[in-house]
Amino acid sequence: MKKDIEIPIAKDVYLAAVHEWNEEFLAKDWNVYIINNRTTQIDMVLIVSKGYDEERKTSLMRHAIGVVAAKSFAKVELMQEDVLALNNEFFVTYYADNKIYEKRFLFEKNTVNEHSLSEIPLIEKEGVFAK
């Protein structure tokens, strides 16, 4: 019976922390975006995030994004400088192709920094991809 259970593999959906200018505070912030590089939209996007290390952990943050159109992106949350020293884990769940997909993304501690920047497609800004 276990062989009959199909677990769909999430593809072409990514998370990236983008370093961008904040006009309100006149400083650069790290914002996390979900990127849908699929040719179809994803629906009912839910994201749960948390930060942790051996000694500390943050509270859970829950985000309901709704729909992310094909070949587009949506802002998830601001990452404050304090949590960059922690592992930041994001569980993404979405509905597409009449199936529910789930994927875990991780920004390992101290990997979100200006030395790790690369070009993020679709957003066309520099940032760091989650693993």
Residue written as token pair 């200006």 = 114
Contact indicator for 63, 46 with CB cutoff of 8 Å: yes
The pLDDT assigned to 9 comes to: 84
What contacts 80, CB < 8 A, 6 or more positions away?
Answer: none
- Predicted pLDDT of residue 7: 73
Single-letter amino acid, residue 87: N
Instruction: Supply the pLDDT for residue 6.
Output: 74
SS3 state at 49:
strand
Amino acid code (one letter) for 94: Y
From residue 36, alpha-carbon distances to 3, 14, 90, 125 in Å are 30, 7, 15, 16
Residue 107 to residue 131: CA distance in whole angstroms: 6
pLDDT of residue 102: 94
Q: Provide the residue ranges of all domains of the chain, joining segments of one domain with +.
A: 2-126
Q: How far apart are CA 32 and CA 76, in angstroms?
A: 5
Q: Please check whether residue 89 is in contact with residue 57, taking contact to mean a CB–CB distance below 8 angstroms.
A: no
CATH superfamily entry for domain 2-126: Immunoglobulins (2.60.40.10)
Cβ burial of 83 (10 Å; 0-12, 13-18, 19+) is: buried
What is the pLDDT tens value at each position of the chain, 131 positions in all? 666 677 788 899 999 999 888 777 777 889 999 999 999 999 999 999 999 998 999 999 999 999 999 999 999 999 988 888 999 999 999 999 899 999 999 999 998 888 888 899 888 899 999 99
pTM of the model: 0.87
